[in-house]
Structure 1
Amino acid sequence: MNGKLKLNGIPSTPSVFDSLPPIGLGELRQMDISLSRLDCLFLAKIADQAERYHDVVAQLKDIISDNNAQLTIDERNLLSIAYKNLTANLRASWRTIDALQKKEALSSTRQQVKLMRVQKDLIEKDLDKVCRDIVDLLEKYLIPAASDGEEKVFYAKMRGDYYRYLAELTRLNSREELGKRSLEAYKSAYRHALATLPPTHPTRLGLALNFAVYFHDIMRSPERACHLAKHAFDEAVMAASADSNATFANLEDALMILQLMRDDLILWHGEISKVRFAD
């Protein structure tokens, strides 16, 4: 074609840019093309839409580093969503392998059992890495820089959640230590929530729900889980009923958490009843 491209039948000279490879974000930084905070947030949102959660985290870590660990609500929520998705996928994978191990235990060969254990160990290592990454970010930067009130409760709750995930999967002596750290984080968050947030606040309700799950899943105590969840549920309902003009902050989120709390209460009460009936 003699170096010519045709567009609608008309010969055209190819641009020099047509032969250049795409430029990555790392290359942009090396070329001293600076990215503003809004640029990083935009890239994080695009990565979130594309389900590229490691990229979301990378952009938000840059924002944390450049802004003294001060995140806006949008940035904070994106960080939470990214780590939640990263760990949710790994936890689901772990449960799948765990269920297969139990289901196929008698029919599997020794080699197959060993291979399933290897796959499970790989997942555990990946999950451990992600959980410790966010815990490190929270303990070193986000919690110390958080303002009193909802922000501090939000981050302390996250710390409790990810220590709980670590405690769920480990079979080592560290399980007890990880459980203690999760309990410490939840207690600290809950004390602060009771002092600074109304009973109907979604962050306080979400904390109460996850704290109750801790008692059920880690402490193996459905009684304590029910006590905490019911207390938080009743307080929220009473607070809303006491003032007919009261409106929930983020009403939809609050109602969704209350529904989840109600579902868990029904489930846990059923477990307690079965144990009592068996005794």
Structure 2
Amino acid sequence: MFRIALFLTAAALLTGCVSRPVGDFGRAQPSVLHDSVMPAIGNFAAKQRREPVSGFNQTDQEREMHDRTWRFLVAAHGKDWMFDGTVELQRTRIGRAKDHTYLPDRYYDWLKRTQYQSSRTRYSTVGRHIAADLDTLPTTFASICAVQEVDRQRRIALAELGGLEDKVALDVAARRTENEWHIDWFVRALTYRYESYSYALDHLLVETPHEQSMGVDEALRRLQPWVARANRGDFCSGSSPQGQGGGFAIPSRFQTMVIDSEVVAQK
């Protein structure tokens, strides 16, 4: 069985089908290859690397979290900058984590290569991408909070119930580690998106300055508190991060921009 699964995965890699299928709002869609075959191979590989691998079935909450965070790990609108194939190998644990090596210039490079009829459209593109993130962050944070609560309930049940096999305790600890690793990955991905958008806006301001940049800057200022909250591990406060203290605050580019006062003579 394992050899068959390995063959199917190898075939998917060769035909370019390793990317996970997605549906509305970038949420993952069911797939035997991606939901069963590749994770089975990945769990085997993880055990060989002596990483924790839980034998528990996924709860509804855990499945929901994985589906909702997926769109932040890849971007269907920009495959050339969000590494969808590499990310799927990382998600299924077939390959090691590589997201910490990503540089924030890829999004801007993708925008620069994409042909638009108007240079203003690049600002609109960045604005739409940030807006899509903002629209889905509340439910994504809620799904992470629900998983953290499941892990808490598991620990309580394990402590109160006696006579369970040692393997149960090992599975509880392993699943908690797996969930924590996935949440940490989401935090890195969200931070990476923010840094990529910021890098793109800074360079667009120099390359093709337009008034549309102010709307993108405002969208980034709305996204920043979510990034700060994720980095604090605050997924369960149940309120909008706007106006909350803590984290890092980045002033508007138009508050810190040095105005060019040079007078250019008209010919």
- State the TM-score, normalizing by the size of structure 1: 0.38
Asked which structure has the greater RCO (Cα within 8 Å, sep 6+), the reply is 2
**Larger % of helix: which?**
1
Larger Rg: 1
